[in-house]
Every structure is written in structure tokens, then in C-alpha cells.
Amino acid sequence: MPIRKYNVFKVVNEKNQCLQDQFLEKKQNCSNLTELEKGVLSFMMMNCHYQRSGRKTVDCNYELNDLQSCTRQLDSNYWNIFTQFYILIQHFCQIQILRYLQSNVESKLSLITIEQQFLNTNLKQQSQIFSEILGTQKEIQNQTQVFLQYVASQYLNFNNQRENEEQNQKVMIEYINEINSQVLKYHNEIEHSFQELSSIYQIAKYYIDLIYVQGVKMNQIFFYIGDLLLMWLFTSNKQFIDQRFNNFLLILICFALENYFESSNYIKSFLVVNQLLLILYGFIFYKDYEQLTYNKLMSIQKRINYFDLSNFKQRAKQILMNTVSKNRNE
């Protein structure tokens, strides 16, 4: 118990020392202090007390800034010390006034009034502090209610989004099924079209075979004449023209031999004429005609030996069919 009294007295003595130091520094008394100056003095005394007790002070330039902005930085402990110093200043000022009034006999009655005023002021301050605490508590309750409403709304939104996603998935599955059905439908149509094309191809092949069986016709010769003229006019590839010209001459030979001649001597003669015409053609249109001439001369015997004169008509038709196939591929 004595130790507790010693600590209380020590704190009171430190507060009184800070109070005296600040008053001496300001060189003022309670007679000319305003309420704002009392607040500034309370802030200075609070820092003095914390500095003497080795605790952290509050850095705030209350001479340049508003005192209210400085007090906003205080937590509950610092605010309690600040209010205690403010009450201590009020009490100190009242004591000064009472000491002044004690010099007069009439000051005894005014002392009671001043003390009552001090108590009323203290009560008002305590009531104001309590009202602020209640207001803060109500504000916290309101914020909690708002937060709970926000959480509930977010939960409802999440459920709505999940339902919308499920609905969208159902719509997407239906759309994919519809696309698959359309693809299957198009696949069946394409397969049917291929079957029709296959039928058309079989019919065309039948007529082509029928034409080939009937032999070389006159219109085929005119077709190759036009083809040769077009190649001559619109291409710069001389070897390509040479191949077309060679095919054309072979068709002429086959047509003539099939329709007008049957002697093997005529067949050999026309084959020789074909090779000689090609040599002449190479001499006119090629710079390396000597090599071309040699190659053509070497191939004369091969061409003559190739034909079986006993079955020449079928060979001629086969050559014509191969020529037509090459033209189609080109």
C-alpha cells in the first residue's frame, strides 16, 4: 500500500512539475488564458509528462496546425492523459482563483460557486465523452449491419451467377448437339453427292470407252489441231510444243493407217516421216538441234520396232488413249 501511494505521489509530482514548467515557460497565469490556450498547454504538459517518464511523445506542431488535428492523432490512453491535464489546468486555475479569493472574506461564497461550475464542466465533459463513445458504438453497429447486408447480397449474386452459368451450359450443349446433327446431315448429303458423281463418272467412262472402241474419229484430230495451235501461240516452252506436235503427228498417222492403209511398208514410211518432221522442227526452233537430231534418229528404229504390224490397230488406239489421259492430267 505505501508503494502505491508513492507511485501516485510521484505521478502527481511529475504532473505538477510539468505544470509549473509550462507556466513558467509561457509566463502566464490563469487570468489571461483562453480555452484554446489551455488545450495547447494541456498538450505540452502531456508531452512533458511522457518525456519525463521515458515514453513516446506526440509530434505535432500545434502552433502552426489546428489543435483539433493534433488531438485526432491521440489514442485512448493519450486522450485520457490529455483530458486529465486539461482538468488539472482547470483545477490549477481554479486554485489560483480560490487563492486570490481567499485573501478576501467575500471570496468564500464565490469559491463554492466556482467549484460547482468546475464540477458541472467536468460532468459535461464526461457526458460529452460518453456520448461520443455511444456514437462510435452506434457507428460500428451500423457499419457491421452494412457489411452483413453486403455479404448477403454477394451471396445472392453468386447463386444467381451459378444458375445463369448452368443455364448457359445447357444452351451450349443444345447448340453443340444441333451443330453435330447439321454436320451429320451435311456428311450424308456429301456422301450422296459423291455417289451421284461416281454414277456420272461411270456413265462418262462408258461413253469414253464406247468412243475408243469405235476407233479414232475425225473430231479428235481437230481437237488436237486446236490444242497444238493454242500451245504454239500462248506458251514459250518449246519442248512442251514439241511433245504436243509429236502426239498430233502420231494421231494423224494412226488415223491414216487405220482408215486408208493396211500395208506394213506404209506404216514404216509414216513413222519415218514423223521422225523426220520432228528433226526438221527441232532444227528450226532449237539451238541444240544437232543433239536433238541425233536423239530423234536413234529413236526411229525403236519406234518402228515398237509397233506389231499384225496388231497395229489396237496399238494405235492404246496410244491415243494414253495421249488423251496425259492431256487431261495436264
Q: pLDDT higher for 190 or 121?
A: 121
Residues 6 or more apart in contact with residue 319 via CB below 8 angstroms: 250, 254
Under 8 Å between Cβ of 242 and 282: yes
d(CA 231, CA 49): 115
Q: Say whether pLDDT at 249 is over 80.
A: no
Which residue in this structure is represented by grid cell 489396237?
A: 314
Q: pLDDT higher for 323 or 6?
A: 323
As a whole number of angstroms, the longest Cα–Cα distance in the chain is: 174
At residue 59, what are phi and psi to the nearest 5 degrees? -85, 110
Calculate the CA 2 to chain-centre distance: 76
Please give the mean pLDDT across all residues of the chain: 64
CB atoms within 10 A of CB 217: 13
Q: Say whether pLDDT at 206 is over 50.
A: no
Least-confidence region, from 3-7, 29-33, 149-153, 319-323 = 3-7
Choose from 193-202, 250-259, 283-292 the range with maximum mean pLDDT.
250-259
Alpha helices in 27-66 (DSSP H): 35-52
Question: How does residue 93 score in pLDDT terms, banded at 50, 70 and 90?
Answer: confident
Q: What is the pLDDT of residue 7?
A: 34
pLDDT single digits (tens) 164-177: 888 877 877 877 77
